[in-house]
Amino acid sequence: MTLILGIATKGPLVFASDRRVTLPDGTYDDRINKLVMIGDAAVASAYGAVRLQGEGSSVVRFDVYEIMKDFFSDGVYNPQRLSEFERHIAEKFVEYREHYFSGAIFRCRFQVIIYSWTNGGFRLNHRVFMVDAEGNLRPKGTNKKCLHGGILADGDVAVLTELISGHNPVFDELRNDNEIKRFVINRQQQEIETVEPDEAIAFNKRLIALCNEYYPLINAEQAPISESCNLALLHRGNGVEILI
């Protein structure tokens, strides 16, 4: 369960991510920083997992987030490095499969998102990795929609979707909220220059908390994201800050 938000301002792009990770035993850790700084060029995150059935029926988590963080720890990011990362993560999966695999595999997918500035402006690289029928990890490009109303969002966007295009009357008060209308529902591109970074930081924090509060009204069977979040600033022309 993950939600990643991004708001463009007159200065940097302001990103936020919840902090909840589901542990192999089904409990949660709400202290994880899901936003990774890649040098001074990009902000990255990942969500989803592949779980292998290990010996003694234990579940071993294939932690794509930690693999990504370790791979980009040298701070180097460019298109060639992205291709190298795709190969690297496939190789790591083979290691996990050979070490833990005992006749069963839970087929699921996970996603890696990298936000960066280039000479041509802001760029989003979004990769989906899936386990095929033979148990091999395959990268798959995606054209997934990441702009929801006036806000960049990835992960579980159910609450945002309801705010923008849903009809549940329970959400009417939020739809009429001035900040929700300004940043999510009615926001136009030309308004970017009127948004201060501190305003985006405060709203991202508030929206993460609201999604935590309202998600059970949409899906009562699945745990929501954490109430707290981590923040990152991606400056135009390079420069990244991670705010814990």
Q: How many domains does the chain have?
A: 1
User: What's 58's domain CATH number?
Assistant: 3.60.20
- The DSSP code sequence of 134-148 is TS-EEEEE-----EE
Query: What confidence score (pLDDT) does residue 159 get?
Result: 94
Amino acid in the structure at residue 102: S
Confirm whether pTM is higher than 0.95.
no
Contacts 24+ apart (CB under 8 A), 171-179: 171/214, 171/217, 174/210, 174/214, 179/203, 179/206
Q: For residue 102, what are the domain limits? A: 3-243
Cβ neighbour number for residue 207 with a 10 Å cutoff: 25
**What string of pLDDT tens digits covers the 244 residues of the chain?**
789 999 988 889 999 999 988 776 778 889 888 898 888 888 988 877 665 555 444 556 778 888 888 999 998 888 888 889 988 988 888 888 777 665 555 556 678 888 887 666 677 787 788 777 677 777 776 555 566 667 888 888 999 999 999 999 999 999 999 999 999 988 765 577 788 999 999 999 999 999 999 999 998 888 889 999 999 999 877 688 888 6
The H-assigned helical ranges of the chain are 64-71, 79-100, 158-165, 172-175, 178-180, 197-214
Query: What confidence score (pLDDT) does residue 131 get?
Result: 72
